[in-house]
């Protein structure tokens, strides 16, 4: 495990750099929520996801759905690190002719299994995928990452009920709980209250972790796989803009791109 986590940390460092380069070049993007999700994605892809970059549509693969689609630079960054995309494609983020559109597209980008952007839909897709795997008799898993502000969408709660009803133990929902959204503090916009108690009450196995602690992330995914009585939710407490001092816990970086000068400062911090 220790070697795998060290490799995941190296992956995450490269991911953060590439997220910043992408958003700087495009003069747009959502770096704050990308950086909060980076460590989770690095561990998931490095240690758990059964995928084949040489055959992205391999029928036996596990699935990852980025329901908070605005954080797609983080997904592109981990796909670069795992061989689905080349680093040369960083320059194509948000370019019409490239394979890295502003929001995920399963028709354009290898390694993307769900087109998203409109919030609240990813858990429903994960449920359908997981149910299909059970009907087909396979052990494939469906992972889905949700933003905390996204939990204001009613469809999420309907999907939570559905997953519990069908005892979809091959579904793992990850909440990137950085507590900031476009309009400000999550608690100011609409508080989620006791979030763990809510997931528990819907019949989920709920795990609460520090979303930047690699051992906790690793153990949470292992626990989710081992739990057989229903779906698992991982509530990951994270920091928006994690890894770059002037971005951390600042709501203004939800959708702002770093300037050339800010990019150099950030890259120096990450070196």
pLDDT in tens, 142-158: 999 999 999 999 999 99
pLDDT above 90 for 2: no
pLDDT at residue 140 in the model: 99
pLDDT in tens, 169-221: 999 999 999 999 988 999 999 999 999 999 999 999 999 999 999 999 999 99
Tell me the domains of the chain and their CATH numbers: 2-270 (3.40.50.970)
C-beta of residue 183 within 8 angstroms of C-beta of residue 201: no
pLDDT in tens, 152-180: 999 999 999 999 999 999 999 999 999 99
- Spatial separation of the C-alpha atoms in residues 93 and 97, rounded to whole Å: 10
pLDDT at residue 1 in the model: 81
DSSP 3-state assignment of 19? Answer: helix
pLDDT in tens, 13-47: 999 999 999 999 999 999 999 999 999 999 999 99
| Burial annotation 12-21 (CB, 10 A radius, 16+ → b, else e) | bbbbbbbbbb
Question: Residue 176 is inside which H or E element, if any?
Answer: strand 171-177
What is the average pLDDT value for the chain, to the nearest integer?
97
Which residue's structure tokens are 């989710």?
Answer: 224
The whole model's pTM is what?
0.97
């Amino acid at each position: 495990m220790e070697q795998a986590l060290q490799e995941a940390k190296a992956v995450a460092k490269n991911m953060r750099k590439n997220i910043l380069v992408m958003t700087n070049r495009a003069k747009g993007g959502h770096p704050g929520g990308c950086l909060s999700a980076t460590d989770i994605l690095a561990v998931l892809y490095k240690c758990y996801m059964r995928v084949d970059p040489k055959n992205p549509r391999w029928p036996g693969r596990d699935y990852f759905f980025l329901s908070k689609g605005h954080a797609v630079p983080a997904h592109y960054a981990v796909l670069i690190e795992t061989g689905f995309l080349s680093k040369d494609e960083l320059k194509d983020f948000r370019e019409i002719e490239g394979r890295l559109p502003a929001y995920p597209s399963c028709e354009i980008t290898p390694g993307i299994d769900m087109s998203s952007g409109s919030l609240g839909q990813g858990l429903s897709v994960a449920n359908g995928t997981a149910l299909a795997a059970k009907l087909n008799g396979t052990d494939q898993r469906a992972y889905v990452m949700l933003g905390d502000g996204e939990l204001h969408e009613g469809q999420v709660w309907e999907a939570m009920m559905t997953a519990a009803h069908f005892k979809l133990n091959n579904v793992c929902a990850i909440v990137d709980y950085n507590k900031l959204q476009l309009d400000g503090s999550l608690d100011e916009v609409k508080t989620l209250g006791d979030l763990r108690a809510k997931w528990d009450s819907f019949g989920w196995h709920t795990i609460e972790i520090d979303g930047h602690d690699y051992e906790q992330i690793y153990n949470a995914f292992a626990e989710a796989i081992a739990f057989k009585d229903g779906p698992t939710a991982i509530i990951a407490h994270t920091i928006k803009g994690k890894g770059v001092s002037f971005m951390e816990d600042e709501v203004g970086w939800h959708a702002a791109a770093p300037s050339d000068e800010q990019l150099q400062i950030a890259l120096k911090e990450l070196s």
